[in-house]
Amino acid sequence: QPSAIQNALFGMGNPLLDISAVVDKDFLDKYGLKPNDQILAEEKHKALFDEIVKKSKVEYHAGGSTQNSVKIAQWMIQEPHKVATFFGCIGTDHFGEILKQKAAEAHVDAHYYEQSQEPTGTCAACITGDNRSLVANLAAANCYNKEKHLDVDSNWSLVEKARVYYIAGFFLTVSPESILKVAKHASDNNKIFGLNLSAPFISQFFKEPLMKVMPYVDIIFGNETEAATFAKEQGFETEDIAEIARRVQSLPKVNKNRQRIVVFTQGREDTVATVGDKVKMFPVLDIDQNDIVDTNGAGDAFVGGFLSELVQEKPLEECIRAGHYAANVIIRRVGCTFPEKPDFH
């Protein structure tokens, strides 16, 4: 008896093709990149995409933060297929075909809004050691259209079927009105809506849409840098991560039936989570530094593992344990890729 049902998990975000390569410090400096960051591509990064594809060991992987997470959740669950639904916008091109094929292989029920004005989005993953600097060229992903896709009855009915929703903060730059519609649906129906802080620039430059959706957020995810940036932008005047978690938990909330859960990962350090009125630390799995191939996708994998248990109504501690397991698997491999089957019990 499978404890997960089809289309129980809904994700919406930027479907991107990751172009991943090991680079050196000179490459980062040339394009003004920090070793560990996530940014949107600007005019000055155009040449970066031409240069990175010429690297000797360039790899192409289906990516996009939310899409990675729902794929990992599906992989953790295994059966039935299509527990995870995904919406996003792609172009009518070769990269778009790859994303469709990869989603199908991962048994995710992907319904892309396809348009021909813009090509499928890409993300350059510039790897140095165990750091990754991500530069996203959203292109088609930025063309997601609420009226032409989310509001269409056949699509909205998939939203209604779900009981857990997850959207990365990155999508706030694309379609905040789509996020709000989904978030309000979850809140009105006492379902679970999860959001990720995703990157420092979201808390800094997309504060208004972020804080508009926050009252509907049941679970907020982020890493230590994103948590610190959010706290600074909100004037919390504390750098203590446990205190930040407490403050984020107590921000205004519409659905009073669910206390907000805050989960902050810290790389190899303990994961911080609010458990009821307490803040607890959860140690991650030990890993030898030499076994880390690249950390790209680790945060997405953590969320994916977490969601796989959440959608099966497992307790918070189990969700975090599954998140730690999935992240531990992903950092041993290039990009957000995974072996055939999980070994999680």
In SS3 terms, 156-204 reads as HHHHHHCCEEEEEHHHHHCCHHHHHHHHHHHHHCCCEEEEECCCHHHHH
Quickly list H helices, 193-279.
200-205, 207-213, 224-233, 241-249
DSSP strand pairing (121-128 vs 109-115): unpaired
Name the 3-class secondary structure at 307: helix
- Name the residue with tokens 């809506």: 193
Name the 3-class secondary structure at 219: strand
**One-letter amino acid of 229:** T
Q: CA-based angle 26:31:36, to the nearest 5?
A: 80
Q: Are 164 and 108 in contact (CB under 8 A)?
A: no
Return the active site residues. 300
Q: CA-based angle 253:195:137, to the nearest 5?
A: 140
Q: In whole angstroms, what is the distance from residue 250 CA to residue 262 CA?
A: 10
Which of 146, 148, 221 is CA-nearest to residue 185? 146
* DSSP assignments along 85-99, one per residue: EEEEEEESSHHHHHH
Cα distance from N-terminal residue to C-terminal residue, the chain: 17
